[in-house]
């Protein structure tokens, strides 16, 4: 069965809107694990628009499931990651003005740089996942520079409809198969929801999905336990 990693960033977004302490992303992470999530992911952005440094270390110390630290490969954030020693880091592109991550890494422009980043983490026994578009070029580069995991960007699939969505889904299927064939583990994320995750979870090579905004939105209406368990039900059904 495809596993679930819960992104708790937007619990912090809501907290920060009021400037108080609620809702706590730390509590959300602990409860998500209790309700069956296999992992927790946070994205510590350079502008600290949601998760902050204190949150990151508190979550790391509060959960026992996989902790995935999503990050841009800047000097400051790399230093924090070294100190944090998460179970996994996911390297993503980051633009200051974007509402959310807009696409995969452009590995082809800076292969030596990304290779040095990956090797820096492996020297510290921290596995690296690279957030990439579902194409063979970026997946091949990921493998060549030492990553062991690729997270396939599902945003184009999530935003498409009808035949266009089927085209995007086929790209993800092909990419996942190729990635596994060259020895990479495959996960997927971005824009996934209760309406579109089933088809992604049906792809046998995809081991894990990362879901944040949609799950947090459902939690606000129905509660976190139901939000997590509803998504787990989708993943379980897809495995049948």
Residues acting as catalytic residues: 43, 70, 190
Relative orientation angle of helices 9-18 and 213-222, to the nearest 10 degrees:
60
**Element at 235 (helix H, strand E):** helix 224-238
Residue 123's nearest CA partner among 93, 85, 76 is 85
Calpha distance 128→125 (Å, rounded): 9
Residue 173's nearest CA partner among 202, 138, 140 is 202
The answer to whether 150 and 179 have CB atoms below 8 angstroms apart is yes
Calpha distance 197→234 (Å, rounded): 8
**Element at 52 (helix H, strand E):** none
The DSSP secondary structure of 148-190, one letter per residue, reads SEEEEE-HHHHH--HHHHHHHHHHHHHHHHHHHHTT-EEEEES
Q: What does the block give as tokens for 106?
A: 């452009």
SS3 225: helix
């Amino acid at each position: 069965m495809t596993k679930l990693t819960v992104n708790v960033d937007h619990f912090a977004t809501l907290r920060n809107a009021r400037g108080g302490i609620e809702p706590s992303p730390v509590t959300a992470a602990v409860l998500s694990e209790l309700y069956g999530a296999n992992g927790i992911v946070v994205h510590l952005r350079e502008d600290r628009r949601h998760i902050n440094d204190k949150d990151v270390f508190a979550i790391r110390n509060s959960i026992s499931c996989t902790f995935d630290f999503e990050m841009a490969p800047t000097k400051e954030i790399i230093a924090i990651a070294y100190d944090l020693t998460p179970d996994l880091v996911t390297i993503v592109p980051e633009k200051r003005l974007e509402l959310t991550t807009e696409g995969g890494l452009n590995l082809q422009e800076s292969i030596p740089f990304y290779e040095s980043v990956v090797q820096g983490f492996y020297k510290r026994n921290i596995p690296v996942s690279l957030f990439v578009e579902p194409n063979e070029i970026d997946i091949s580069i990921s493998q060549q520079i030492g990553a062991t995991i690729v997270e396939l960007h599902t945003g184009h699939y999530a935003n498409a409809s009808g035949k266009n969505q089927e085209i995007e889904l086929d790209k993800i299927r092909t990419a996942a198969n190729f990635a596994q064939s060259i020895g990479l583990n495959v996960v997927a994320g971005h824009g996934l929801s209760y309406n579109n995750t089933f088809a992604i979870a049906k792809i046998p090579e995809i081991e894990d999905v990362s879901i944040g905004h949609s799950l947090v939105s459902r939690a606000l209406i129905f509660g976190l336990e139901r939000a997590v368990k509803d998504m787990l039900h989708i993943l379980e059904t897809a495995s049948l």
